[in-house]
Structure 1
Amino acid sequence: MSEWIQHIPFTKHFNEETISLGNNVIQNTIHSKGSFLLKNGQICGKLYFMVRGLVYAHTEQEQILWYEREGSSFTDLESFYDQKPSNHYFKVAENNTHLISINFNDLQHLFSESHQWALWGVRFYQHELQRIASYYEALRTKDASERYFKLIAAYPDILQRVPLSHIASYLGISQVSLSRIRAGVQKQ
């Protein structure tokens, strides 16, 4: 079985022909800490799946938008699907970050050549829309403390992998506010 089957969701049911189509276009890459996968002004041409490591997105002003770790997928949705320049940066946060990727044109070809790949696309996009909706609901309805606890619950090792300044930026709060939240947790 191809390694990518283990890391791309909703592919376990693929038949041999569908897997073979994927084998022809899916790429495995290893990246060093500090390298950029995407820079502001570039078109995001790939859909990524994280095997090992950590990647984050930030704006020109270095506002952290998200972190993705093992088992997750990411792209700049607007740039990728509309094939227009991105306003974001994707930066590798850990050495030996292992990514699997599919470029935009190859993915469109898979969709047109294979019914199973087309169904995968629908299922994958539905999953991503649910994930995005959950993220935005948390932004609108939860205060910084609740968002912090949700982050820690979802990513228990994040404090060991990411600078506190990045976590504060991601939560949209100052480092002082983050320290207060963390101090309140330690008192309990």
Structure 2
Amino acid sequence: MSQDAPAPFQQGALDALCAFYAIINATRLAAPAGRVLSQHASRSLFRAMAKGAQKRRLLLDMLTDGVSPEELEQLLGDAARWLARARLTLTWHRPFADLEAVPLEDWLRCVDQHLDQPSRSVIVSIGGALDHWSVVRRVGSVSITLADSTGRRQLMITACEAGLDQEDARYRLPPCALFLLDLAVTDN
């Protein structure tokens, strides 16, 4: 008598590494021409962020419970320090840091305008059907194109809301968890 074996878990189903991958993918996407991080450099950056989280005694919680926007900022600080050694300056800001909701059109316009310039990227938290950090590659008229660690390629705009408590939206894009990144070559 055989029983059906349970389906195997995929990487990411039990861990919460998406924030680490989002920072690495955003950095690679924003890298100035000729400065894209190799796999070796990306692994070293991952290690630097993990070490920073471990020093703050947050690594286990981050790996199993996920990363808050404030913790993502700490990881970005770790990444900025590591990138400085490679003569790259990483800066970021959160345009809606204190807001729980904004009109989706404002959120989309903000992201689109930021991505209109070179050496920029966007990290976003996706709630609702997902609990995930990802990278926005482009905002189109009907979808948001992602550079995502899970392979997800897009979100349909009609399925999104830019708020924390939008019950009817499949995907919630909390404005307080929107990070606009810039990466530049350091002078000298």
Q: TM-score, normalised by structure 1?
A: 0.28
Q: Which has the higher contact order (CA 8 A, sep 6+)?
A: 2
- Larger helix fraction of residues: 1
TM-score (norm 2): 0.28
Greater gyration radius: 1
